[in-house]
């Protein structure tokens, strides 16, 4: 009886040993699998962290590209604006640049006028008159105007007007700065005659669409320019006139031409 129970126990022991061996083997496999899973998890976590870093890098690059795109769009808009402006800017504005610097106005960098604090040579003033005469003649040709009473002859720093009378007279649009009263008188007559031609152009340009309205009124008979701001009058003549007053009249006259250039650019954009 005892021997049978002993055998049963021995068989049970052997079975349990086998079961234990299986469990140990399973445990070892599980440990290996767990270690592999941990390693894979670590790899995945590293990949995830790398993915986050890559995502951040891509987002940063995207922002950079977006900023660059906006910058390019701004530059393109500026270029298009400049191109449109250049298309509206015709040959007149490109060839006859008029600017003001303090009390003086200049055309193509040649100053027209002088004041005690800013001396300007007569050679430069005469050259400025030559460019101004050429501009007025070009503007009049553009609108198809034939001047009455005078013929304008641009000849650089020795430009002049010729009266269209039975006894034609040349009026010099230049001065040497000497004390020859006859020459100085003719110079004054030439500048008044020039205002006459300018007023003729203004009247012709007013007929256009859009019409030209100059900033300063011209009083031809008196040889005066009217300041639109103060309402004061400035003589275009040098005789019995102060340099500041004469230079102010010339500045108002060139400002009128500046308005004329803007007008002709709109009225005749392809000329």
Q: How far apart are CA 70 and CA 73, in angstroms?
A: 5
Residue 206 belongs to what domain range?
A: 87-267
243 or 87: which leads in pLDDT = 243
Q: What is the pLDDT of residues 90-109, one digit of tens each?
A: 677 778 999 998 999 999 99
70 or 211: which leads in pLDDT = 211
137 or 47: which leads in pLDDT = 137
- Tell whether 4 is covered by a domain: no
Q: What is the pLDDT of residues 20-46, one digit of tens each?
A: 777 677 777 777 777 887 788 788 788
- Tell whether 46 is covered by a domain: no
Q: How confident is the model at residue 182 (pLDDT cuts 50, 70, 90)?
A: low
Q: How far apart are CA 198 and CA 111, in angstroms?
A: 19
Q: How confident is the model at residue 145 (pLDDT cuts 50, 70, 90)?
A: very high
Q: For a pLDDT cut of 90, what percent of the chain falls above it?
A: 53
Q: How confident is the model at residue 124 (pLDDT cuts 50, 70, 90)?
A: very high
Q: How far apart are CA 124 and CA 103, in angstroms?
A: 16
88 or 197: which leads in pLDDT = 197
- Tell whether 5 is covered by a domain: no
| Region 106-132 average pLDDT | 96
Sheet strands (E) in 150-257: 150-153, 160-163, 170-172, 217-219, 224-226, 233-235
Q: How confident is the model at residue 230 (pLDDT cuts 50, 70, 90)?
A: very high
For residue 242, what is the domain's CATH number?
A: 1.10.418.40
- Tell whether 145 is covered by a domain: yes
- Tell whether 263 is covered by a domain: yes
- Tell whether 255 is covered by a domain: yes
- Tell whether 75 is covered by a domain: no
- Tell whether 21 is covered by a domain: no
The SS3 assignment for 123 reads helix
Instruction: Please say if the pLDDT value at position 71 is more than 90.
Output: no
Q: How far apart are CA 123 and CA 174, in angstroms?
A: 9
C-alpha distances in Å from residue 127, one per residue of 35, 108, 134: 96, 10, 11
Domains in the chain, number: 1
């Amino acid at each position: 009886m005892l021997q049978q129970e002993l055998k049963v126990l021995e068989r049970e022991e052997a079975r349990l040993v086998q079961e234990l061996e299986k469990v140990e083997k399973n445990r070892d496999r599980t440990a290996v699998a767990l270690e592999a899973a941990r390693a894979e998890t670590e790899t995945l976590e590293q990949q995830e962290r790398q993915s986050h870093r890559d995502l951040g890098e891509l987002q940063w690059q995207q922002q950079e590209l977006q900023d660059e795109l906006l910058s390019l769009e701004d530059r393109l808009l500026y270029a298009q604006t400049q191109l449109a402006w250049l298309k509206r800017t015709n040959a007149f504005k490109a060839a006859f640049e008029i600017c003001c610097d303090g009390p003086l106005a200049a055309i193509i960098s040649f100053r027209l006028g002088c004041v005690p604090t800013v001396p300007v040579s007569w050679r430069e003033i005469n050259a400025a008159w030559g460019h101004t005469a050429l501009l007025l003649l070009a503007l009049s040709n553009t609108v198809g105007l034939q001047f009455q009473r005078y013929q304008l002859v641009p000849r650089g720093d020795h430009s002049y007007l010729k009266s269209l009378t039975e006894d034609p007279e040349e009026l010099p649009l230049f001065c040497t700065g000497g004390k020859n009263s006859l020459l100085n008188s003719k110079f004054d007559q030439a500048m008044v005659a020039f205002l006459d031609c300018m007023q003729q152009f203004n009247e012709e340009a007013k007929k256009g669409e859009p019409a030209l309205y100059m900033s300063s009124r011209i009083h031809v008979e008196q040889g005066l320019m009217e300041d639109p701001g103060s309402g004061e009058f400035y003589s275009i003549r040098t005789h019995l006139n102060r340099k500041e007053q004469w230079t102010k009249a010339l500045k108002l006259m060139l400002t009128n031409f500046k308005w004329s250039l803007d007008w002709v650019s709109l009225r005749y954009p392809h000329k």
